[in-house]
Amino acid sequence: MDNKPVNTESIAQTKQVGALLLIFRWLSISPILWLFFSPAQPSVPARQTLWIAGLVGGGTLIITLFQRQFFQWALRYPWLLALDLLTAIIVLTVSGADASLFALYAFNPLLAGAVFLPTRQLMAMSGLFTGGYLLAVLVANDMTGSTVNLSRVYVQIITAWLIPWLLHYPLNQLRRATADRDSARRYMAELQTDNRTLTAEYDHLEIIYELTSFLQGAANAQDVQNRLLTTVTAQLGFSRAVMGLVNRDIIRLEEWRSAPETQRNTLFSEPLAIAPDSGLLAQIIIDGQAQWVAPRHQLTSNRHLNEWLGNEHWLVLPVEYQTEPVAVLMVTGEATRTFDSSDKMWATLTSLVSQSGVTLGTLAHIQNLAREKERNRIARDIHDSVAQSLFGIVLTLDACAKLLPAHAADVQQELLNLRAVAEQVRQAVRESIIEQWSTSMTSRKFKTGLRKYMASISSDSVFHIDFNIDGDFDGLPVHIQQTLYRVSQEALTNAAQHAGVDSARLYLYVEPDEIFLSIRDKGAGFVPGQVIAGLPPTEHFGLRGIQERVQTIGGLCDILSRPDQGTQILVRVPLQGEQPYDDRTP
């Protein structure tokens, strides 16, 4: 058996155990009533027995009145049970030992020990009782001169060992069962707590996952804004959420939206400048730190915006991308709640804000790149068409000025030609605008367009183009067709204006997974690296424009030329996913 003390406070203080021990203690002194009903006299005078009964009864009465304290003292000070046992042995000694009417009373300390004491201490008490009882029998019989009743002594000693142990063993089992039950309950409570925690964490992770999945396919900032507001209110439980987007071009907050959608939670149009004098909200965005704002504080310097936000506690969270503000999220919540790193709600909210910031920043970056790309494309188009034609007009006007007034008739004819060129410029501008609607092109239009264009820029001579087009040019994507056209246009223009030739060869091969384009002349030639890198950017914008155009469709462009050995422009464009080449060797 386990000899370690067991915490029996919960058992000792129960009404059932206390009542049983008190009932037995009172019953153990009830045999004294035998003196009043039996004609036989005990071995000691009845008056002495009554005095002993009175003392024993008084002690039992005191224990009854203070039973809770007695049980607590017995649990805390086990030696009190040994003192009770010594008192019982003395009572047996003076009341006749084996013939005593208080034989049952002597078992009270042993029964209490069976409840309160661990196994080893109970064994010690049983042994102490055995020795004390034998000593009491010897002393009592020596005093009275009577004969020892061995059968009574044997029964008393066996009972002193048997009854306490019959009570102690099931009590020990009950204690262990109770301890196991309590442990199981605690374990179950811990499991339930862990389950609730894991469920909450799972729910929060699911919310983050759903928002992240949505953000990956978000088309614009407004979609991100609406989804974040809905998530914060519908899934995280905030009563209201407000979000404004940062316009970084003019440094202000605008496009305010709120959720859930009610009459006052519609889009709010008034912007707010992000400056220190614009109020507390702007200052929080500048500092980049989340902050609770009480109703007594004015959030902004805009009265209408303050009225729209209402008189509520707001948690203001700046939404950033690479330390730059892209938006601000405001949620209402408990006024006294303080979020920290251990708060699951705070972790989820900040994660949603972080994911939204990355998406908003990426979308803004993509939009900027798209605008820059479109500006570059328009600049190239103007250079390739309008600028070249205007250059020709300027040269012709200079020639006309030199011919006046001696050759007025020739000047008149040149001016008529210039009128035709100006009309061609107008048409070129119109074509550039029409290209915004992605007009498709055929190989026939490709050839015709290049011939007409070259005729317009070289009106004093005929420029011949030797075409060789093979493959399904008509089935190419529109933007690739247009890029190949513009590249060919610029390359042929360079040949006509700078190479000193009146002809060039254009080869175009369209294969299932790749396009090859070659424009070659036998003109003056040049050193490509020196010309492109050494001259001011405006003088050879066309060469760089060719390379940039090819790169926009994932292709590779090589410019091959040597002085007096002509020039060849080679273009290779992949068609499988239109991915750029890694190998840039020609």
The model's pLDDT over 360-387, given as tens digits with 9 standing for 90+, comes to 888 877 777 766 776 666 666 666 666 5
Q: List Cβ neighbours of 501 (8 Å cut-off, separation of 6 or more).
A: 495, 521, 522, 523
Spatial separation of the C-alpha atoms in residues 563 and 449, rounded to whole Å: 30
Spatial separation of the C-alpha atoms in residues 103 and 89, rounded to whole Å: 9
Give pLDDT, residue 540.
47
Please tell me the class of the 224-361 domain: alpha beta
Residue in this structure with the two tokens 């409840």, named with its chain if needed: 115
* Amino acid (1-letter code) at residue 257: R
In degrees, rounded to 5, the angle at the alpha carbon of residue 110 between the alpha carbons of residues 133 and 115 is 170
Of all residues in the chain, the percent with pLDDT exceeding 90 is 10
Spatial separation of the C-alpha atoms in residues 223 and 214, rounded to whole Å: 9
What is the tens place of the pLDDT at every residue in 152-183? 777 777 877 877 887 777 777 777 887 888 88
> What helix, strand, coil percent values describe the chain, rounded to 5?
60, 15, 25
What is the tens place of the pLDDT at every residue in 508-519? 999 989 999 999
pLDDT band at 115 (very low <50, low <70, confident <90, very high): confident
Q: Which of 109-113, 138-142, 234-238, 559-563 is predicted least confidently?
A: 138-142
530 vs 348, more confident: 348
Q: Between the CA of residue 401 and those of 408, 412, 416, 457, what are the distances in Å?
A: 10, 11, 15, 20
Q: 315 by DSSP, 3-state: which?
A: strand
Averaged pLDDT, 143-158: 73
Q: List Cβ neighbours of 488 (8 Å cut-off, separation of 6 or more).
A: 446, 450, 506, 517, 519
Averaged pLDDT, 53-65: 74
Give pLDDT, residue 391.
63
Q: Which of 29-38, 85-94, 231-240, 324-333 is predicted least confidently?
A: 29-38
**pLDDT for residue 253 is more than 70:** yes
pTM: predicted TM-score of the whole model, two decimal places: 0.45
Q: Which among 90-99, 147-156, 421-430, 522-531 has the top mean pLDDT? A: 522-531
Give pLDDT, residue 468.
94
Q: 171 by DSSP, 3-state: which?
A: helix
Asked whether 91 and 59 are in contact (CB, 8 A), the reply is no
Give pLDDT, residue 396.
66
222 vs 205, more confident: 222
Asked whether 246 and 326 are in contact (CB, 8 A), the reply is yes
Averaged pLDDT, 109-113: 77
Spatial separation of the C-alpha atoms in residues 83 and 63, rounded to whole Å: 14
Q: What are the start-end ranges of the E strands in 386-457?
A: none
Q: Which among 58-67, 194-203, 212-221, 476-485 has the top mean pLDDT? A: 476-485
Give pLDDT, residue 510.
94
Give pLDDT, residue 411.
67
Residue in this structure with the two tokens 């179950």, named with its chain if needed: 188
Q: What CATH topology corresponds to 442-586?
A: Heat Shock Protein 90 (3.30.565)
Averaged pLDDT, 307-315: 85
Spatial separation of the C-alpha atoms in residues 274 and 253, rounded to whole Å: 7
Averaged pLDDT, 288-301: 84
**pLDDT for residue 583 is more than 60:** no
**CATH 3.30.450.40 in the chain, residues?**
224-361
Read off the tokens for 255: 């496009």
Q: Torsions phi, psi of 7, nearest 5?
A: -70, 105
What is the tens place of the pLDDT at every residue in 514-534? 999 999 999 888 888 766 665
Give pLDDT, residue 412.
67
Averaged pLDDT, 142-149: 68
Strand partners, 505: 466, 520
**CATH 3.30.565.10 in the chain, residues?**
442-586
